[in-house]
């Protein structure tokens, strides 16, 4: 599972394609009665027992400055990838760790 992130500029500058517009029009025409929820159980109070607000969620996601030992070759690969993608190598490492934990 890949995490896709978009910047605010990406969203502001987004130009929908003809295919996107067709898809959105098709979705807009669907009524609630047209949606098949049979494979989705109804949500209960128990499902929301551990829910937190968006504010609490982002507060928990604050970054922490830590010291981690990483092989020089691995670090160099992340730095090279960051340069190619015009991003920050620490962010790439964080994304890689997050994706790993989602799968394992």
pLDDT tens-digit readout, 58-100 = 877 788 888 999 999 999 999 999 999 999 999 999 999 999 9
Q: Which domain holds residue 82?
A: 68-104
* Residue % of the chain over a pLDDT of 70: 99
The pLDDT assigned to 1 comes to: 62
Q: Work out the angle between the directed axes of helices 89-103 and 72-85 (0-180°, nearest 10).
A: 110
Domain count for the chain, please give it.
Answer: 1
First to last CA, the chain: 11
Are 95 and 85 in contact by the 8 Å Cβ rule? The answer is no
Whether 99 is in a domain gets the answer yes
Whether 81 is in a domain gets the answer yes
Two tokens, residue 92: 């790439």
Indicate the pTM of the whole model: 0.45
């Amino acid at each position: 599972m890949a995490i896709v992130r978009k910047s605010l500029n990406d969203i502001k500058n987004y130009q929908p394609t003809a295919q996107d517009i067709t898809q959105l029009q098709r979705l807009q025409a669907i009524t609630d009665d047209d949606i098949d929820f049979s494979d989705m159980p109804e949500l209960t109070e128990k499902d929301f027992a551990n829910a937190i607000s968006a504010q609490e969620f982002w507060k928990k996601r604050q970054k922490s400055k830590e010291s981690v030992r990483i092989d020089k070759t691995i670090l160099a690969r992340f730095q090279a990838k960051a340069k190619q993608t015009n991003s920050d190598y620490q962010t790439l490492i964080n994304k890689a760790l997050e994706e790993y934990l989602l799968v394992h």
